[in-house]
Chains A and B, each alone.
Chain A
Amino acid sequence: GDSVTQMEGPVTLSEEAFLTINCTYTATGYPSLFWYVQYPGEGLQLLLKATKADDKGSNKGFEATYRKETTSFHLEKGSVQVSDSAVYFCALSDRGTSYDKVIFGPGTSLSVIP
């Protein structure tokens, strides 16, 4: 079945460092790909998404490109801030289903220190 794998955390970075969180997926079709973020004390929220190969999703300085050839959707940010400290979840949605059945990776915890 479909699945999502992402790098294990926790990840600790200094402010203004470059961030990469790796994500790879397994899917039988052509899924849509997502990054969700969970800030401390809050619910998960959509950060960015890409619906087809070579699409780049971006939001709040974060970017991820849908790479079909490597089945990857790595999250990047050029300069992290303390406020980016959160848990990041890579996810996919099988567009062949009639509803948004979203499959999540295990999450990667990010701590940014001043």
Chain B
Amino acid sequence: DAKTTQPPSMDCAEGRAANLPCNHSTISGNEYVYWYRQIHSQGPQYIIHGLKNNETNEMASLIITEDRKSSTLILPHATLRDTAVYYCIVIDKYIFGTGTRLKVLA
């Protein structure tokens, strides 16, 4: 079973920040949080990952709470091409849940 809980769907206006939450209350100390997205039926695309510190790259930012029980993926300026299913995964094993279907609206 997936170790994460995500809302099934979200809408975001184009140009605005998209904040995608993920709960992982059973995460253990050495488990990383990974985010991937799947656009239409393509292969999943790696976005970002982190352990306990907040992370930022050219695609997104990852905010992890101090107790590590939840995290938020932030797409700072969402575009129509960011419409996808976003998966939050806690590794030790890659178990994908059903993710959040993000729809960016023009």
Are A and B a genuine interacting pair, yes or no? no
